[in-house]
């Protein structure tokens, strides 16, 4: 059984500083509950069953434009009101769908679909863009025989940037229409539940993708999980961030990632694209990352602030997990 590691308290750095998140304090001004127009249930901000805002909130919310489609497959035992997955459906309703397993689509006839899940054959996002990186799995992360990457959640996954990667970047003018990924599928469940969902043949045939490590800011502790086990909305944000940086680069003036503690490989990969000169036709709509998807964390950041209003950061067991 894994136990949280007691660490010396460090001054807390606000993780969302410099991110381009709309002023979510508007949520603090909303009083009472409202009736969902679809299901007639009483809700506070949004209906987590119908995935839509309630009351007048719809007029106050930011709308996030995504470059691809997102499907979220929820375990039937996941409590809707506690899941962060619905945040994506509320803030980007035209591109996000939520399904409850086993009632899920069959992606067999659709091109460009990937599953975000660590498996023995997982690719990284840069590899989808044919960039020169690889996962450090030479020693199988020191795991015993019979174990593989899909079981190593407690170990950080190191992405290695090849020595010649910065000098051999071949820039392609990507648009929303020619990305190598058209749809990304996420599993919204505990780690053990996700492995049972992954066993479904409809998902096993999909290419799997593993994300760069970044420390989670989620306040709800999941026993035995390390700090880089992201909440679903954090994982969606991280994936879209990686896709965007690999397609269109990172704005050199953007400082929103400085407190997220993303592994070094991400910054190494972003570096050659940060100052890359691209055709002006490419950047009319798709420009270097400057917080394009940060508003996906609108509700998440608000709840983070609320939790920390009542609890000291270092007293919350979720932030004392091993890293």
In degrees rounded to 5, what are phi and psi of residue 141?
Answer: 55, 25
Radius of gyration from C-alpha coordinates of the chain? 20
Strands 183-188 and 113-116: parallel
Question: What's the mean pLDDT in 130-147?
Answer: 61
Instruction: Give the per-residue pLDDT at 146.
Output: 47
More reliable by pLDDT, 270 or 182:
182
Q: Treating both helix axes as pointing N-terminal to C-terminal, what angle do 232-248 and 264-274 enclose, rounded to 10 degrees? A: 30
Contact yes or no for 131/269 (Cβ under 8 A):
yes
d(CA 167, CA 215): 30
**Average model confidence (pLDDT) for the chain?**
80
**Residue range 192-206: mean pLDDT, rounded:** 90
Given this model, what pLDDT does residue 222 score? Answer: 60
Grade residue 9 by pLDDT with cuts at 50, 70 and 90.
very low
pTM of the model: 0.85
Domain ranges of the chain: 32-61, 62-137+174-319
Question: What confidence tier does 7 reach under pLDDT thresholds 50, 70, 90?
Answer: very low
């Amino acid at each position: 059984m894994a136990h949280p590691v007691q660490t010396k308290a460090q001054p807390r750095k606000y993780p969302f500083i410099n991110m381009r998140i709309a002023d979510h304090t508007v949520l603090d001004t909303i009083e009472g509950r409202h009736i969902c127009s679809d299901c007639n249930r009483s809700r506070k901000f949004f209906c987590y069953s119908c995935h839509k805002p309630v009351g007048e909130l719809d007029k106050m919310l930011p709308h996030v434009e995504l470059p691809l489609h997102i499907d979220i497959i929820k375990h039937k035992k996941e409590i809707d009101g506690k899941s962060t997955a619905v945040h994506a459906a509320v803030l980007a309703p035209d591109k996000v769908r939520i399904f409850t397993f086993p009632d899920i689509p069959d992606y067999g006839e659709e091109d460009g679909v990937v599953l975000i899940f660590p498996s023995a054959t997982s690719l990284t996002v840069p590899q989808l863009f044919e960039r020169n990186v690889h996962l450090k799995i030479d020693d199988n992360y020191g795991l015993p025989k019979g174990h593989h990457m899909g079981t190593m959640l407690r170990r950080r996954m190191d992405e290695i940037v090849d020595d010649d990667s910065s000098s051999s970047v071949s820039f392609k003018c990507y648009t929303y229409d020619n990305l190598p990924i058209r749809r990304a599928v996420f599993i919204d469940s505990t780690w053990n539940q996700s492995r049972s969902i992954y066993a479904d043949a409809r998902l096993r045939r999909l290419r799997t993708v593993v994300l760069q490590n970044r420390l989670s800011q989620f306040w709800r502790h999941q026993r035995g999980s390390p700090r880089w086990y992201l909440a679903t909305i954090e994982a969606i944000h991280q994936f879209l961030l990686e896709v965007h940086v690999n397609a269109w680069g990172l704005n050199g003036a953007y400082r929103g990632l400085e407190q997220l503690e993303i592994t070094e490989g991400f910054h190494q990969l972003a570096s050659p694209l940060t100052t890359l000169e691209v055709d002006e036709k490419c950047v009319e709509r798709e420009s270097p990352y400057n917080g394009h998807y940060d508003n996906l964390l609108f509700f998440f950041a608000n709840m983070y602030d609320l939790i920390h209003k009542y609890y000291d950061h270092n007293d919350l067991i979720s932030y004392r997990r091993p890293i």
